[in-house]
A = this chain, B = another copy of it.
Amino acid sequence: MILSHMTNQQPALDRVFHALADPTRRAIVERLNRGPASVSEIAEPFPMALPTVVQHLRVLESSGLVRSEKVGRVRTCRLEAAPLTRAEGWIAEQRAYWEARLDRLEDYLKILQAKEKGNDEQS
């Protein structure tokens, strides 16, 4: 399992989680979830300079979460679902392991309780 950190998916997951580790970038993802938008539309609600927003958009693009296309003078950004699904998949896998371990602990406790009861009845 430890070796999995050398597989090909890892750099992609690194970039997606890094992109999501910032409140402005998560808010941009939330905005683009409502539909494609131009860079100035995206920047409008944020209390920061346009170049700062553009910098955040670059991080999102390099993670694959956002694609952009320039037509004339307007650059339109849209969300790509695949990287989000990949990140969600990794977390869901961890939860599945976690829950399986809890189930095993619960089974073990039941066995202990049954033994305990057996001992009580014998004494």
Contact = CB atoms under 8 A, between A and B. Distances in A.
Contacts of A22: 14
Interface residues of A, number: 40
A5 B18 contact: no
Given A20-B17, A23-B5, A94-B29, A34 B88 contact: no
A6 B95 CA distance: 28
Q: Quick one: copies of this chain in the complex?
A: 2
Nearest to A87: B91
A90 B5 contact: no
Contacts of A17: 17-18, 20-21
Given A92-B88, A97-B34, A21 B23 contact: no
